[in-house]
Amino acid sequence: MDYEVESMENEPKKIAVIGGTGNEGKGLAYSWSKFGHTVIVGSREEGKALIAAADINARIGREDVVGMENLEAASKSDVIVLTVPYAAHRATLEYLKPQLIGKLLIDVTVPLVPPKVTKVQMPPSGSAAQEALEVLGDSVDIVDAFQNISYEHFNDSGEAGCDVLVTGSSKDARMRALELVKDAGFIGWDAGPIENSVVVEGLTSILIYLNKQYGSHSAGIKITGLG
């Protein structure tokens, strides 16, 4: 059984958050920039990326985050984080594919199908992460993470209150992603091979249902009994 990743020194990374103008993307960009990583916010429209970057810079009190069109953002980064809606998932991967070769992709996409977002509806590939593997092949290290984290948890309280499950195409890719999970302020767990992403992504619809059922906005998961 794999336990929580051990703390270690992490070299600053160049991270592109594709679809970084949404709440989840901006939350991740803020957390990693605050930690000390170089962060680029990517968007289909450069103007929207620049506005989102300015918002994050105002929040951290520095001018560190920059905004770029998605392709340029990916080309200038070592780690690409995909936070686009599922409807744009495959097209975005195909568009960025040449810029992803040899890099780490952290796929945050959840295959939600509006309007029934409280119902688990997995794609033919099995999950968004497996769809990414289908599009990109083994030339890219792919991990699935942050699907079960509401954007309200990206704050300065120091208490995230929920954990992050990480699945992926290799043990090395998962370990690298777990370091970035820690840098974002969360406890992360190695949840195994990319096939397990079916369960992780499916949990998101359940958490959305729980939020609606019990009048909350930030339901999450916590792993107990380990460590």
Structural domain including 158 reads 14-214
Is 221 domain-assigned?
no
Tell me the C-alpha distance between 218 and 204, whole Å. 11
Is 169 domain-assigned?
yes
Torsion 162-168-174-179 (CA) sign: negative
Torsion 188-99-52-147 (CA) sign: negative
Is 1 domain-assigned?
no
Q: What was the pLDDT predicted at 158?
A: 54
pLDDT of the chain along its 227 residues, tens only?
343 433 335 689 999 999 999 999 999 999 999 999 999 999 999 999 999 999 999 999 999 999 999 999 999 999 999 999 999 999 999 999 999 999 999 999 999 999 999 999 999 999 999 999 999 999 999 999 999 998 777 766 556 679 999 999 999 999 999 999 999 999 999 999 999 999 999 999 999 999 999 998 889 999 999 96
Is 222 domain-assigned?
no
- State the Rg of the chain over Cα: 16
Q: What was the pLDDT predicted at 155?
A: 66
CATH no. for residue 196? 3.40.50.720
Is 148 domain-assigned?
yes
Residue 9, Ramachandran bin (φ over 0: left; ψ between -120 and 50: alpha; else beta): beta
Is 97 domain-assigned?
yes
Distances (CA, A) of 210 to 53, 214, 216, 219, 220: 32, 6, 8, 7, 10
Distances (CA, A) of 226 to 34, 150, 171, 189, 204: 29, 23, 19, 10, 23
Is 35 domain-assigned?
yes
Q: What was the pLDDT predicted at 3?
A: 35
6-28 pLDDT, tens digit per residue, is 333 568 999 999 999 999 999 99
Is 3 domain-assigned?
no
User: Which residues share a beta bridge with 168?
Assistant: 143, 193
What domain count does the chain have? 1
173-194 pLDDT, tens digit per residue, is 999 999 999 999 999 999 999 9
Q: Order of strands, edge to edge, in the sheet holding 38-43? A: 66-69, 38-43, 14-18, 79-82, 104-107, 141-144, 163-168, 187-193
